[in-house]
Amino acid sequence: MPRKAGSGKRSPVVFFALIFFCVAAAGLVYFQTDLFRARSAERGLSGLVSVRGSVGLEQLALTDQEVGVINRTVEKYRETFPKVGLVIDTVGHVDKITPKTVLIFAVELQTNGDLVVKSWSRKVPRDNMVPQFVAYMGKAASEYKEFKRFPDVKQNFKTLYI
């Protein structure tokens, strides 16, 4: 009986060539595309944050880590403070902001009502500004929560300094 074409055993060489081709294609897809990489957040502050004062956002040269910390903190307290304002000035004239540059720093937090929660201006080195912001947000949120327990007092204030 004659043998039909293709009915015999496949050559091991063809099998290994096929495996090699699949591994090479998978490697190409893995290393040349972003399909398997975690997406990094776009560098930039949350849209809930505004920066005012004589020091611009570009001059601060926030690191990606600092931007992430600020954005996570703002998101954490978003229900309490839907808008966050940072007021940043320098002490005297400064050409370039370094980690040791002393800044005058204040925070303004808009609540869901008519009330604005503000910090007193404080002098902080640039490298301590973000930790100060995070600490203030936590303190302001807890103090504002306590303040809201007294609705009769709340009606008399438009600005609350914490």
Q: Could you tell me if residue 74 is inside a domain?
A: yes
Average pLDDT over residues 108-118: 91
Give a yes or no: residue 9 inside a domain.
no
95 band by pLDDT with thresholds 50, 70 and 90: confident
User: Structural domain of residue 134, as residue ranges?
Assistant: 49-161
Buried b or exposed e, range 103-121, using 16+ CB within 10 angstroms? bbbbbbbbbeeebbbbbee
pLDDT for the residue 33: 63
- Confirm whether 73 is domain-assigned: yes
The 8 Å CB, 24+ separation contacts for 119-125 are 119/161, 119/162, 120/161, 121/87, 123/91, 125/99, 125/100, 125/101
pTM: 0.69
pLDDT tens-digit readout, 36-45: 544 444 468 8
> What type of residue is 83?
K
CA 21 – CA 4 distance, rounded (Å):
28
On the CB side of 114, how many CA atoms lie within 13 Å of its CA? 5
CB 9 within 8 A of CB 31: no
In-domain check, residue 20: no
Which CATH number fits the domain that encloses residue 154?
A: 3.30.160.100
- In total, how many domains does the chain have? 1
Place 94 in a pLDDT band, splitting at 50, 70 and 90: confident
pLDDT mean over 91-119:
91
Mean pLDDT over all residues of the chain?
84
User: If pLDDT is split at 50, 70 and 90, which confidence band does 74 have?
Assistant: very high
Is 44 inside any structural domain?
Answer: no
Residue 68 has pLDDT above 90, yes or no: yes
